[in-house]
């Protein structure tokens, strides 16, 4: 591994040195830069179309195409809480409901062991009974 690194360290500077330009080549390149070069005439420059005109037209057209839509009515979401399920009926918001019953704008489509599904159009709401964690306290007896 060390041999490879040593070879690279020797070969790299030699290759860079051999690729460099000679003094005569650099002098010739500098003299070419000093020579006066013909530029573009004012007549040609004045007749050149504005390169930004197309961009401005496109932007104006895009602005015209933007349609302003009225904000949609915000319908307050109805809140439902299921607290029990018994004999294929769900106790939702303090009332019992079975499959096919309507609650507000929703219809009960299924009742499970601990949940119920409500449907309105294509929207389906799944209500699940919230389980509270039971806390046990252990007391030492005498």
pLDDT tens column, 30-60? 888 777 777 788 888 788 877 665 555 555 5
Looking at the domain assignment, is residue 70 inside a domain? no
Sign of CA dihedral 69, 73, 74, 77: negative
The residue segments making up the domain with residue 25 are 2-32
| Helix (H) or strand (E) segment spanning residue 57 | helix 53-65
Looking at the domain assignment, is residue 22 inside a domain? yes
Looking at the domain assignment, is residue 94 inside a domain? yes
Q: How many domains does the chain have?
A: 2
Looking at the domain assignment, is residue 120 inside a domain? yes
Q: pTM of the full predicted structure? A: 0.41
Looking at the domain assignment, is residue 43 inside a domain? no
Looking at the domain assignment, is residue 109 inside a domain? yes
Looking at the domain assignment, is residue 39 inside a domain? no
Looking at the domain assignment, is residue 23 inside a domain? yes
Which pLDDT value is given to residue 21? 72
Q: In what order do the strands lie in the sheet with 106-111?
A: 102-103, 106-111, 115-120, 123-128
């Amino acid at each position: 591994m060390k041999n490879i690194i040593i070879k690279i360290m020797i070969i790299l500077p030699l290759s860079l040195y051999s690729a460099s330009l000679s003094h005569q080549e650099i002098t010739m390149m500098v003299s070419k830069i000093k020579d006066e070069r013909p530029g573009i005439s004012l007549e040609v420059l004045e007749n050149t179309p504005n390169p930004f005109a197309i961009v401005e037209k496109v932007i104006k057209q895009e602005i015209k195409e933007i349609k302003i839509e009225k904000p949609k009515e915000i319908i307050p979401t109805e809140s439902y809480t299921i607290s029990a399920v018994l004999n294929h009926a769900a106790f939702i918001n303090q009332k019992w409901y079975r499959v096919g019953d309507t609650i507000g704008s929703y219809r009960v489509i299924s009742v499970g062991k601990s949940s119920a599904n409500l449907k309105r159009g294509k929207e389906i709401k799944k209500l699940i009974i919230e389980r509270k964690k039971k806390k046990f306290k252990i007391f030492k007896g005498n």
